[in-house]
Amino acid sequence: MTSIQPPAETIWWKQPLDRVEGTWIAIALVWSLIMFVMMPVWHIYGKQNLSNEAYRTTPAAYMAKTQAMVDQYTVRTETDQQIPVVKPPPGSDVYLLGRLWQWWPILELEKGQTYRLHIASMDWQHGFSLQPQNINLQILPGYEMVLTITPDTSGDQTIICNEFCGIGHHNMVGKIFITEGGS
Amino acid sequence: MTTETFRTCPESGLQFHKPAETLMRMNAVVAVVMLLIGGLSALAVTLTRWPAVHLLPADRFYQLLTFHGINMLIFWIIFFEIAVLYFCSSTLLKCRLATPRLAWLAFFLMVAGAVVNNLAVFGGQATVMMTSYVPMPANPNFYLGLILFAVGALIGCFIFLGTLVIAKEEKTYEGSIPLVTFGALTACIIAIFTIAMGAVILIPTYMWSMGWISHIDAALYRLIWWAFGHSSQQINVAAHVSVWYAIAAIVFGAKPLSEKVSRTAFVLYIAFLQLASAHHLLVDPGLSSSWKIFNTSYAMYLAVLASMIHGLTVPGSIEVAQRAKGYTKGMFEWLRKAPWGNPVFSGMFLSLIGFGFLGGISGVVMGTEQINIIIHNTIYVPGHFHATVVIGTTLAFMSLTYFLIPVLFRRQVFLPGLAKWQPYIFGIGMMVFSLMMMGAGTLGVERRHWDMAFTDAAIGFDYPASAYTLMGLVGISGSAAILGGGIFILITVVSVFFGKRVESESSYGTETTRLMKAEPTITPQGGHAAAGKWGFAAPGTFAMAIFFLAVFVVYYAINWKYLASVWPMS
């Protein structure tokens, strides 16, 4: 038994490196550096990056902004709960809020257009999970996250909550409709 | 000087200090009790996420999921780790344990903390998941229990350090501390950092729950909570890597390829791993990309490098030991002729493979700033950490237990025929379980979610049929793994409490021996590489490492490609 005994050589740190170890450390270090570089490289050349633009907010202030958008751009309502469907103009600021247990309002965006999507929580922490796109963001109370998105697929996207937020968590579902552009 | 009583185990040559022996036994026994209740809740949770079964109602599911996380990730593992710390100090260094009375205080504080926390969860007022993200409130006893437990664990850490001091003072060993003790020391240092972070966040949260503080910022909570939550997983990594080295030494008489490399890799864990809370905040508002990139990787992934080094040096040390015994045919005779029927070895080796291939690769991939967008909070995440914590840590601890039953508890292993199969049932079950979860997560299935069919939601959503198939396989493989865990508990409990005693004599006395240095390596001409191929001491291990790297590179590239298919955003 040896790894559970003191090293044979008292000056163990001067023991020469074994070739198999030296080779592997060199390879692994190069790979680690490649993985590190990939992240800044994707910020330059890749198209999927978070802006990490965010502001402090309060539920009241954020609600007011969202309500103003809803009042201005609601086109119809959906479901028994009469959830407003909002169709803001391309390029505009779009507000989405998460609260127990709803994503509100429903958004209708045009394919190929760019929007500044704001998201914040009114109460506890929520998880914005856009399916089947599979875009997942952490949504916190007190913080307004801003994301510039360009939907490039048509059809419905569903927003589910993937951060546990109490007993109604699994019923917290919202919607983003993507329409063909050119209207 | 007071006389301390010791006994020497005739089979292993290990020397046990009597008070330390009792403490190790008690900590290990309570650990297994925690594993049992954590395992029962695991069954209920797994059967609920299996869509065809959907066992529990929603409130009970979230409650038991909270209970499962805390009992497994915190109580089972840390009770066992305290036993490991005492073993790596007192037993391995042939030294008396520092302040056994305080060690009992630590033990009872941990038990009290676990009971208080579990009662809060069972009371139904603390269904907040292990992470207890503010501002979701929990009964104050939830936090109080965790604080009591942490104080106990902290005392245990200082007893470990005190024992190292005594061993040095009383010269119970020659030269430097053994590699395994060194690894345990790194685990202990990370644990102290972790508990400090836990105190920084849980004490204010407790005060908030009592109404003494009005507000805790959600982003700040996450930053500090994860400095505690992620670091606690690094304790596990340092501890189970130490256990791998210990088992390689126990089963094969293996010695590290070089002390320098293995020890430096442990030091890298201290320097670069325990700050890694950033992995959990990659899609959080309020943090810049440069902060995220730097803190997720420290510019060069030195902690990942450390694990890649251990992943080579642990099997490499086994290969060298096996080749020295004459298993030199081809690349892999040393591995083929390894004792696959000995659960101490088979469990450890499955732990190593599962941790590296499943846990390690998935962890790095999802810890990449942008790739996290397609993974965060999906069931991929529990897929990843079941590979690291359950296959990596729990399975390594199970393997060590098979060694400890005769050595520490002086009992024969009950049903040795079944024990041979246990690591395979548990390990392979868990590997499939993790893989299926990762697959379902890639399809967007959420974690911590009662109903993937959204039956009661105002707006519905249908996952593809393949997601249901994968979640069904999660249920089946999870149940298989739980069966393997149940067999482990059956074997250990019956062995320890009702098992046949080991026949050899091992009586207590006051005589002790000194821990001697390892035999110097008899270096064949041209270095010990002469026993291997191409100047490599461990060519088989190197080939496996290159295979690992190939899998890593391919999987990493696939995830970037998948990311490139989602909506452009900036």
Closest-CA residue of A relative to B294 is: A36
Give residue B523's pLDDT band: very low, low, confident or very high (50, 70, 90).
low
Phi and psi, residue A175, nearest 5°: -145, 145
Does residue A99 sit in the same domain as residue A37? Answer: no
- Cross-chain CB nearest to A140 (options B218, B364, B541): B218
- Whole-Å CA distances, B356 to B76, B351, B512: 22, 8, 40
Cβ contact (<8 Å) for B377 and A143? no
- From chain A residues 96-155, the ones with a CB under 8 A of any chain B CB are 102, 106, 123-125, 127, 129, 131-145, 147-153
Burial class (CB in 10 A: 0-12, 13-18, 19+), B547: exposed
pLDDT digits (tens, 9 = 90+) for B320-369: 999 999 999 999 999 999 999 999 999 999 999 999 999 999 999 999 99
- Cross-chain CB nearest to B255 (options A2, A21, A171): A2
pLDDT digits (tens, 9 = 90+) for B233-262: 999 999 999 999 999 999 999 989 999 999
Q: In this structure, is residue A1 part of a structural domain? A: no
Q: In this structure, is residue B267 part of a structural domain? A: no
pLDDT digits (tens, 9 = 90+) for A101-159: 999 999 999 999 999 999 999 999 999 999 999 999 999 999 999 999 999 999 899 99
Q: Nearest CA of chain A to the CA of B498: how many Å? A: 30
Does residue A82 sit in the same domain as residue A159? Answer: yes
- From chain B residues 111-130, the ones with a CB under 8 A of any chain A CB are 127-129
Does residue A113 sit in the same domain as residue A162? Answer: yes
pLDDT for A1: 45
Does residue A94 sit in the same domain as residue A130? Answer: yes
Q: Nearest CA of chain A to the CA of B261: how many Å? A: 8
Give residue B525's pLDDT band: very low, low, confident or very high (50, 70, 90).
very low
For residue B442, list chain A residues with Cβ-Cβ distance below 8 A: 134
Does residue A128 sit in the same domain as residue A160? Answer: yes
Q: In this structure, is residue A105 part of a structural domain? A: yes
Question: What does DSSP say about strands A102-104 and B15-17: parallel, antiparallel, or unpaired?
Answer: unpaired
Q: Which domain holds residue A156?
A: 53-179
Q: How far apart are CA A125 and CA A138, in angstroms?
A: 8
Q: How far apart are CA B117 and CA A62, in angstroms?
A: 36
pLDDT at B120 over 70: yes
- Spatial neighbors of B504 by CB under 8 A, at least 6 apart, are B10, B11
Q: In this structure, is residue A159 part of a structural domain? A: yes
Q: Looking at chain A, list the stretches that DSSP marks H as alpha helix, in order from N- to C-terminal side.
A: 19-45, 59-73
- Cross-chain CB nearest to B246 (options A4, A49, A134): A4
Does residue A119 sit in the same domain as residue A41? Answer: no
Does residue A147 sit in the same domain as residue A101? Answer: yes
Does residue A58 sit in the same domain as residue A112? Answer: yes
**B300-304 contact pairs (CB < 8 A, 24+):** B300/A29, B300/A32, B300/A33, B300/A36, B301/A32, B301/A33, B301/A35, B301/A36, B301/B364, B302/A32, B302/B268, B302/B271, B302/B272, B303/B268, B303/B269, B303/B272, B303/B273, B303/B276, B304/A32, B304/A35, B304/B360, B304/B364
Cβ contact (<8 Å) for A39 and B369? yes
Does residue A16 sit in the same domain as residue A94? Answer: no
Q: In this structure, is residue B33 part of a structural domain? A: no
- Tell whether B52 is within 8 A of chain A (Cβ): no
- What residues are paired with A127 via a beta bridge? A138
Q: What is the CA radius of gyration of chain A?
A: 24
Question: Residue for token digits 């050119």?
Answer: A182
- Tell whether A45 is within 8 A of chain B (Cβ): no
Q: Are B193 and B274 in contact, with CB atoms under 8 Å apart?
A: yes
Give mean pLDDT, residues B379-405.
98
- Whole-Å CA distances, A25 to A20, A39, B108, B136, B367: 9, 22, 44, 45, 21
Q: Nearest CA of chain A to the CA of B450: how many Å? A: 6
Q: In this structure, is residue B351 part of a structural domain? A: yes
pLDDT for B514: 84
For residue B521, list chain A residues with Cβ-Cβ distance below 8 A: 8
Q: Which of B95, B320, B449 to mutate to test the interface with A (most CBs of A within 10 A)?
A: B449
- Whole-Å CA distances, B415 to A24, B240, B403, B487: 41, 25, 15, 10
Question: Residue for token digits 């952490």?
Answer: A138
Q: Nearest CA of chain B to the CA of A56: how many Å? A: 8
> Can you give the CATH number for the domain in which A142 is found?
2.60.40.420
pLDDT at B521 over 70: no
- Cross-chain CB nearest to B364 (options A12, A35, A169): A35
For chain A, the distance separating the N- and C-terminal CA atoms, rounded to the nearest angstrom, is: 77
Does residue A22 sit in the same domain as residue A96? Answer: no
Q: Which of B257, B284, B450 to mutate to test the interface with A (most CBs of A within 10 A)?
A: B284
Does residue A77 sit in the same domain as residue A104? Answer: yes
Q: In this structure, is residue A39 part of a structural domain? A: yes
Q: In this structure, is residue B391 part of a structural domain? A: yes
pLDDT for B275: 64
For residue B296, list chain A residues with Cβ-Cβ distance below 8 A: 39
Closest-CA residue of B relative to A147 is: B570
Q: Are B436 and B478 in contact, with CB atoms under 8 Å apart?
A: no
Tokens of B426: 């548990």
Phi and psi, residue B320, nearest 5°: -60, -40
Mean pLDDT over all residues of chain B? 94
> How many structural domains compose chain B?
1
Q: Which domain holds residue B425?
A: 339-453+461-501
Does residue A106 sit in the same domain as residue A122? Answer: yes
Q: In this structure, is residue A88 part of a structural domain? A: yes
Q: How far apart are CA B505 and CA B7, in angstroms?
A: 10
Q: In this structure, is residue A5 part of a structural domain? A: no
Between B137 and B503, the higher pLDDT residue: B137
Tokens of A77: 């309502």
Q: In this structure, is residue B494 part of a structural domain? A: yes
Q: In this structure, is residue B19 part of a structural domain? A: no
pLDDT at B524 over 70: no
> How many structural domains compose chain A?
2
Question: What does DSSP say about strands A143-149 and A74-78: parallel, antiparallel, or unpaired?
Answer: unpaired
Q: In this structure, is residue A91 part of a structural domain? A: yes
3-state secondary structure of B129: coil
Lowest mean pLDDT among B28-37, B102-111, B298-307: B298-307
Give the start-end residues of each E strand in B18-68.
none
Give residue B526's pLDDT band: very low, low, confident or very high (50, 70, 90).
very low
Q: In this structure, is residue A4 part of a structural domain? A: no
To the nearest 10 degrees (0 to 180), the angle between helices B343-353 and B218-252 is: 140
Cβ contact (<8 Å) for B564 and A47? yes
Q: In this structure, is residue B429 part of a structural domain? A: yes
| DSSP 8-state class, residue A75 | E
